[in-house]
Structure 1
């Protein structure tokens, strides 16, 4: 991998704004008449969620969907129903407690699941996450109304997987974008399969108890129809983030080796597995490099370019 180029002359595309929790709580109070109290921001996440409390209730999690169109309203309703189906299959997903259609967005108040984000990523956690992802297999056979997930290999996604940021940044990102698009010309634009798929499946979106057992999977805004193996590719990219000490790095390395073998086994078992894995890897490379350009910095851009090259070069 060549040395990082200097910052590009063109201004990168704007980052996704973080949640203004106080403003959203005020709008929710005005709309519902309920006495919502803002407890504080929920730690973690890239865009943000907040903890709120209503009189006589436990703390709940407040998020929002941009826009208030009929199509967005229908997506929110469908997501709530899909979480019910996920729970029935043994996936620890939250319940939607209240959904409010505000003038410019839709507020979602959902159950706060037990547990905390994991402080350590090890083989046991990764194996349990892979098992949870597998519980989504076949769950949407009877839900033809749920659209297949878009891979965005030929066009930008809605707020993520933006092609323009890679085109503007430097020569290395333009080469990756060209490769992503070439892979996209030979692959379907949407995932095949009838699985329920969490499209942002990584340790930051799970909760664990004191024993390290997963108690919750959160951030389901991007749930879709497709191939549950995609969640393993998302997880594999996240494992490229280094640990905070020697023990953490060793645990992540062991988990990464196991997951790489599991990915090879699962995709190698199907005739089109290699091409499918390549398309998923291209999507994740595009997604992570775009996000790093717009939200982080050169070190993160370098990391994701290196991870993308591992299976695309």
Structure 2
């Protein structure tokens, strides 16, 4: 992919290593002047990614640690995105302090989209499949249990509220693999802004709660088993006190669909069972 970007743009990038924490993948690169960058395959059209780049520039001016998009290159099979490499590294350990720092950071998303009318409200895909994720068909064919979950997702999608509202900045995949920290554990960056939207910043709390179910105090493996003594009752209480029952149910249905579908298509039956057990804890 680095070679394709160089052929297309003449950027002269050098591959320096693989960034291995994500589900999709990224590469560390170096510009001819020595600056570091991160190359990913962008989700969406060239126009959508240009919009994301413009929005992130506005967000940077508000003081949030988000990367600058330095190059968008049209490739035969998508868009190559070269982002600024922010300081820090993915957290080696996920604990309550990190989760609380990330939760506090979402408050800084409040109202940021009010001056960005071009930002779309995210589609939660509860009534029809999303573009490459949140697929309904996988749950429909996997088994009786996933079909019941899909029926519940459809029910939530037909109820009110049926969509996200608000003027906050929304990060659609706000989990511990998409932040960077310094040696002292302080947050230095928020990455992976594909699908950036306007709506309710508190959506990120539900995304983070799903992630905490598998990363809380057990290291970086997103699909490793949670230790039995890891307690996240405080996080569940926060969700109950922060979100109305209808809104929490809406966001929970989306994350249920997203994680169960992804595990069916990309991971193991044990992972699917793991997500079903967790999702069903709030299905009512």
Tell me the secondary structure at the aligned position of residue 120 of structure 1.
coil
Q: Is residue 2:238 matched to residue 1:262? A: yes
1:235-274 aligned at under 5 Å gives the runs 235-241=208-214, 243-244=217-218, 253-254=230-231, 256-267=232-243, 273-274=244-245
Tell whether 2:181 aligns with 1:215.
no
TM-score normalised to the size of structure 1?
Answer: 0.84
Matching of residue 148 in structure 1 with residue 121 in structure 2: yes
- 1:191, 1:57 → 2: CA distance? 42
Superposed displacement of residue 257, structure 1:
2.3
Find the counterpart in structure 1 of residue 168 from structure 2. 195
Aligned partner of 1:35 in structure 2 is 12
Show CA shifts across 1:41-66 (max 9, x none): 21210011111112222221001225
Match of 1:134 in 2: 107
CA–CA separation in structure 1 for the residues paired with 2:22 and 2:179? 11
Quickly say closer, same or farther: Cα 1:252–1:43, change in 2 above 3 A. Answer: farther
Q: Is the 8 A contact 1:41 1:51 kept in 2?
A: yes
For the aligned residue pairs, the C-alpha RMSD in angstroms reads: 2.0
Residue 114 (structure 1) aligned with residue 114 (structure 2): no
1:184 maps to 2:157: yes
Q: 1:258 to 1:90 in 2, by over 3 A?
A: farther
SS at match of 1:289: helix
Shift of 1:251: 11
TM-score normalised by length of structure 2: 0.92
The question of 1:50 aligning with 2:27 is answered yes
Moved more, 106-115 or 183-192: 183-192
1:280 aligns with 2:251: yes
Q: Deviations over 1:268-296 (max 9, x none)?
A: xxxxx211110100000000000000111
From 63, 68, 77, the equivalent of 1:90 is 63
What per-residue deviation string (whole Å, max 9, x for no partner) do you get for residues 201-246 of structure 1?
Answer: 011111111111111111111211110010000000011115438x
- The residue number in structure 2 matching 1:166 is 139
Asked whether the equivalents of residues 232 and 263 of structure 1 are also in contact (C-alpha less than 8 Å), the reply is yes
Unpaired runs of at least 5, structure 2: 220-224
Q: How many residue pairs align between the two structures? A: 278
SS in 1 for 2:101: helix
State the partner residue of 1:102.
75
Gaps of 5+ in 1: 1-23, 268-272
Which whole-Å CA distance do the structure 1 matches of 2:159 and 2:262 have between them? 25
